[in-house]
Amino acid sequence: MLFITNKLVNFTEMKALLITLASICFSVNVFAQQTITLSGILKDKRGEVLPGAGVYVSGYKIATISDNKGKFHFNLKPGNYDILVQLIGYNALNKNVLIADKPVHLAITLQESVTQLAEVTIKADPNRLRYINLFKGYFIGTTPNAALCNIVNTDVLNISYNRETRILSANTTDFLIIENRALGYKIKYLLNDFQYDYGKRIVYYEGYPTYEDLKGSESKKRKWAQKRLEAYHGSAQHFFTSLYQNRSTEEGFIINKLIRKANPDKPADSVIKENIWRITAARAEMNKNKTDLTSLKVHLGLNEGDSLNYWMKKRNLPDKISVLGREVIKPDTLVHCHNENIKKIDFTDILYIIYTKEKEVEAYKDRIGLSISRPPEIGDDQISLINLQIRPVFFYKNGSIYNAKSMLYEGYWGWEKIADSVPMDYVPSR
């Protein structure tokens, strides 16, 4: 029997492809290996074309600039994409696009930014700097790579803390710019929603990131290439990519089941509270009246050993116990095809994912409340948990997930955040 007292720590996928289920049920059998043209034109609300705008494919290292006529185009494989547009003086915009077997043309209208007006009318929050530092830890992360990340423009963050719900919230209307000197990326992230729940210790964020290579010497580029490979290996993106290819076992992933259930040795909280109160009150009366301990136990109807210490120990027991099933789950029994380009998983209980090709780093082991309990023979292999929130989980060939809220991660994947992410078009060197 395996006891786990970890709290849930992270909702995570970095893309939120929030579209209806019907819209993803397309078939591109013949065109799966072809590229399709996505083109568009950018205008303002007066109908004037907008040249020089940055146009990005969210989650990828794909970008272009609108020409003098406000036009742009990409050649993309069939799939579902979020197209991001940024131009100084205008609000950043994202547009979800489904590419199947025909060229797609977009007519996009950008709205002028009112940021300067907002800066005049919004009252400064004396706690803002503290909130930003907390945000950095929960969004960028606390890994060794996170120490080499810097948010260039924290001024675009709309951030607040609700004392009643104990939730830290943030979003942006413009791109949050992150320089990742560990992996060599400049990340632009249009943050739709970020929340950290202090009570449940759950982090959730969704938005639209884009990646650019930082400039550096050849030696730096080689170092970044190695660090990117390390970041990708064992990640959730690596796991789902290997699942799609039916190669998760060869790639080093072992899948087990974890069953969480109520701890039979722990009475209800109300019972524990009542007994602690009764004994505490009776002890106070005993001290006042100089009653002996034996008389106290008779008065309260307590069994031998039934004492304040006994109930305090009961209170400290975990609410739930976890039982690890040692039967390995075969990928072909877990994964099913939804259509030519999308696969899905559906399961009960919790997936217990062991990555055998990398060990947990010391920085992770030092984080209290993150590490997942394990049998001794697993050693220091990286372990992550997948809690299913919305079933089934749909995923693509590159490891991206249809719905960011479909899963809740614990363990190593709950620890790794934006600082350890790579683009969805990243191709590892083997």
Answer yes or no: is pLDDT of 273 > 70.
yes
**Torsion angle defined by CA atoms of residues 18, 20, 25 and 28, in that order, rounded to the nearest 10 degrees:** -50
Dist CA 56 CA 84 (whole Å): 5
**pLDDT band at 306, cuts 50/70/90?**
low
Q: Hey, which residues does 393 pair with through a beta bridge?
A: 345
Cβ partners under 8 Å of residue 106, min gap 6: 38, 39, 40, 41, 83, 95, 97
Q: What is the mean pLDDT of the chain?
A: 84
Q: What is the largest CA-CA distance in the chain?
A: 93
Residue 41 has what pLDDT? 96
Residue 153 has what pLDDT? 95
Rg of the chain taking only CA atoms, in angstroms? 26
Residue keyed to tokens 């065109």: 31
Instruction: Report which secondary-structure segment, H or E, holds 203.
Output: strand 202-213
pLDDT tens sequence across 64-114: 999 999 999 999 988 889 999 989 889 888 899 988 889 999 999 999 987
Answer yes or no: is pLDDT of 193 > 70.
yes
User: Are the C-beta atoms of 104 and 36 separated by less than 8 Å?
Assistant: yes
What's the pTM value of the predicted model, to 2 decimals? 0.78
Dist CA 384 CA 371 (whole Å): 9
34 vs 75, higher pLDDT: 75
pLDDT tens sequence across 368-417: 667 788 888 888 999 999 999 999 999 988 898 887 788 999 999 999 99
Q: Determine which of 22-26, 43-47, 286-290, 400-404 has the lowest per-residue pLDDT on average.
A: 22-26
- 3-class SS at 223? helix
Residue 146 has what pLDDT? 96
* Rounded mean pLDDT, 7-31: 38
Closest CA to 152 of 182, 177, 175, 134: 177
Where along the chain do its domains lie?
35-116, 128-259+322-420, 267-316
Identity of residue 66: S
Q: Hey, which residues does 162 pair with through a beta bridge?
A: 167
**pLDDT band at 339, cuts 50/70/90?**
confident
* Rounded mean pLDDT, 190-215: 92
Pure H helices in 2-71: 21-24
**pLDDT band at 33, cuts 50/70/90?**
low
Residue 170 has what pLDDT? 96
* Rounded mean pLDDT, 301-318: 74
- CATH architecture assignment, domain 35-116: Sandwich (2.60)
